[in-house]
Amino acid sequence: MFSASNTTGWLAKTIAKDTDCNVSITWSSLEDEISTGNGAARITVNNVVKGTIEVQQGEFTLNVAPYLAVGSNVVKIRVSDVYNNGQTISFNITVADFSISSTFVTTTPFTE
């Protein structure tokens, strides 16, 4: 029996560029009431596979920020066991890039 659930507490989020974005997933897999061992989490962003990591059963947290681009990102984490039983959890993450600029010249006297 395979089960996985989102324990992050959200499905959609907006973050600033260059900040962490952690997602948490809890999963388990049993065959004949025996744990199937470690599994894999495949990270896909906007339909492009960004990587696969080994994950232990239970809760794991993954910082997906390095895989995100500025703008809208659909992140899918597929957790699967050694028998390829699995489940995909999706997140919608928007990355905002903020900047401030000015034409004010500090070397010129200000008069009103």
Output the domain CATH number for residue 36. 2.60.40.10
Residue 109 inside a domain? The answer is no
Strands 58-63 and 22-31 turn out to be antiparallel
What pLDDT, on the 0 to 100 scale, is given for residue 3?
96
Q: Are 2 and 82 in contact (CB under 8 A)?
A: no
Q: What is the pTM of this model?
A: 0.85
Residue 112 inside a domain? The answer is no
Assign 109 a pLDDT band (cuts: 50, 70, 90).
Answer: confident
Q: How many CA atoms lie within 13 A of 40 on its CB side?
A: 9
Residue 40 inside a domain? The answer is yes
Q: Are 75 and 25 in contact (CB under 8 A)?
A: no
Which has the higher per-residue pLDDT, 103 or 18?
18
Total domains in the chain come to: 1
Residue 49 inside a domain? The answer is yes
Residue 82 inside a domain? The answer is yes
What tens digit of pLDDT does each residue of 31-66 get? Answer: 999 999 999 999 999 999 999 999 999 999 999 999
Q: Are 43 and 65 in contact (CB under 8 A)?
A: no
What pLDDT, on the 0 to 100 scale, is given for residue 108?
73
Residue 90 inside a domain? The answer is yes
In this model, does residue 7 exceed pLDDT 90?
A: yes
Domain that holds residue 43: 2-96
- Taking the C-alpha atoms of residue 112 and residue 44, their distance in angstroms, rounded to an integer, is 56
Residue 101 inside a domain? The answer is no
